[in-house]
Structure 1
Amino acid sequence: MMVPDLVIFDCDGVLVDTEGPGNLRLSQWLTEAGYAISYEDCRKRFSGRSMTSVQAEVEAEGVPLGADFVERWNLALPDLFAAGVDTIPNVRGFIDEVQAASLPYCVATSARLSKMQITLGVTGLLPLFAGRMFSATMVARGKPFPDLFLHAASVMGFAPERCVVVEDSVAGTQAGIAAGMRVFSYCGDPLADREGLSSSGGILFDDMRALARLIPLR
């Protein structure tokens, strides 16, 4: 397996442990709006998705969320993560190894830049990604479409087939594969959709310490 030219990280669930509290809050909001959904189903269906796409899917099923749904969601994020956010276990060590190998890297996420500023900020990871953060708000279509990963690769100056993606969601894995990239799908979370990740074409792993063996860095 070749040494990649660029490593693209997803953010939520790969760098920072936010999928749990985020999807718990989302399941509560959707249920209160009349779209009953459990936390577990919310994790399975909406992890890795932008709130714009979540709203579109829910409203297509006949449940209006309001024109200000996405804005209300983003305004509530500082309070949601006020108690702190953990990094995904051992991911900082892998980032250190990527840096030591002088490999270019970036983050590409469905979330807004403002959310990354919060979550990467409280975990201390933000300085590591300064000037190399990409959001689905920058492209026409979010995950599972390939637009975001193709945009990140283009801006960073690398061909898609020379990039690898580190993901944790089915939508993100599908997006990376559609972009023509190799995708390594983290399934260390007990609620990870292992079957969905595998069938989407991801290379599954459950410990960030294994990545340096799966992805040749030199």
Structure 2
Amino acid sequence: MIVDMVRGMALSFSPSLVIFDCDGVLVDTEPVAGRIFAEAVIELGYPATYDECLRTFRGRSMASAVEIIEARLGSSVPAGWADEMWRRTEMAFASGVAPIAGVAEAVSHIHKHGVPFCLASSGEMPFIHRNLRSAGLFDYFDGRMFNAAMVARGKPAPDLFLHAASRMGHAAETCVVIEDSLPGVQAAVAAGMAVIGYAGDPLTDAAALESEGAHVISDMSALRDILVLC
């Protein structure tokens, strides 16, 4: 077992591998990227509010998001629509992005204890590389980055997390995932992995993450207390 709960004590995890999501977990991109995406979806005529779009599409791969949009609209998105989303997002982050508060210290702590970790994101790899470099985290994850383009199905399917665990040489049941989105939590649970839900962003629905099986934290410094690193 990698999860222990003792009456009166905090939940703790003893993972063989820690798998980080990227946007909203390592780099502080979700508020801006989510706004750009939600505005573009609504422009297509998608019948939802801004907040509803954030809840629906946060954490999903572009392919998964487009599938939902087209099913709801009953028509295809315009040619080049996805490329335009990446262009708008790239422009928004051209001046750089910051790491999530406390995550650099948490990653360094895991690294110093010799526990393997990696990244598994729905994002496009060029954006992942650029944002990690901007946030000063690239060297930690160089050679240990996996994204939705590598698997048949993106989050909330378990494929990406299972792929990352397999490539890193670890069994799913010994992994802990750190996620901030509902599809990400659902993907981790479907993969048979323990999951820590990060709800530091006010727009994150902490109750929804918890209801899907995540142990929710609002401060990355909490990882030092709940990850038992041997």
Normalized against structure 2, the TM-score is what? Answer: 0.91
Report the AA paired with residue 67 of structure 1: A
Q: Match for 2:49: what amino acid?
A: S
**Identity percentage of aligned residues:** 44
Q: Distance in 1 between matches of 2:25 and 2:164?
A: 17
Among 146, 154, 160, the residue aligned to 2:166: 154
Distance 2:59 2:152 in 1: 16
Residue 145 of structure 2: aligned partner: 133
1:15 aligns with 2:50: no
Name the residue aligned to 1:209.
221
State the shift of 1:33 in Å.
Answer: 1.9
Amino acid at match of 1:21: V
Q: Is 1:27 equivalent to 2:22 in the alignment?
A: no
Is 1:90 paired with 2:102? yes
Preserved contact between residue 165 and residue 175 of structure 2 (Cα < 8 Å): yes
**CA-CA distance at 1:199 after TM superposition:** 1.1
How many angstroms does 1:69 deviate by? 2.1
Unaligned ranges ≥5, structure 2: 5-12
Of 56, 62, 65, which aligns to 1:51? 62
CA shift, 1:26, in A, is: 0.8
State the distance in 1 between where 2:110 and 2:66 align: 36
Is the 1:13–1:168 contact (alpha carbons within 8 Å) kept by the matching residues of 2?
yes
C-alpha displacement of 1:125: 1.0
Per-residue deviation at 1:36? 4.6
Matched, 1:38 2:52: no
| CA distance in 1: counterparts of 2:138 and 2:79, whole angstroms | 31
Q: Which runs of 5+ in 1 are unaligned?
A: none
Question: Counterpart of 2:204 in 1: which secondary structure?
Answer: coil
Instruction: Provide the rounded CA distance (Å) in 1 between the counterparts of 2:115 and 2:127.
Output: 25
Q: Secondary structure at the match of 1:8?
A: strand
User: Could you say which residue in structure 2 is the equivalent of 1:64?
Assistant: 76
Q: How many residue pairs get matched?
A: 218
Equivalent residue of 1:7, what SS?
A: strand
Equivalent AA in structure 2 for residue 213 of structure 1: D
Hey, what's the Cα distance between the residues in 1 that align with 2:53 and 2:139? Answer: 31
Deviation at 1:202, TM superposition (A): 0.4
For 1:105, the equivalent position in structure 2 comes to 117
Shift in Å, 1:128: 1.3
Paired with 1:202 and 1:23, the residues of 2 have a C-alpha distance of 22
| SS of match in other structure, 1:204 | strand
Q: Retained in 1: the 8 A contact 2:36–2:88?
A: no
Give 2:14's aligned residue.
3
**CA offsets, 1:83-139, max 9 Å, x none?**
321211100010010011001100000111111012112111112110000001100
> Secondary structure at the residue paired with 2:27?
coil
Cα pair 2:180 2:199 within 8 Å, conserved: yes
Kindly indicate whether the alpha-carbon contact (under 8 Å) linking 2:159 and 2:191 is maintained by their aligned counterparts in 1: yes
> Which secondary structure state, in structure 1, belongs to the residue aligned with residue 146 of structure 2?
strand
Q: Tell me which amino acid in the other structure corresponds to 1:107.
A: L
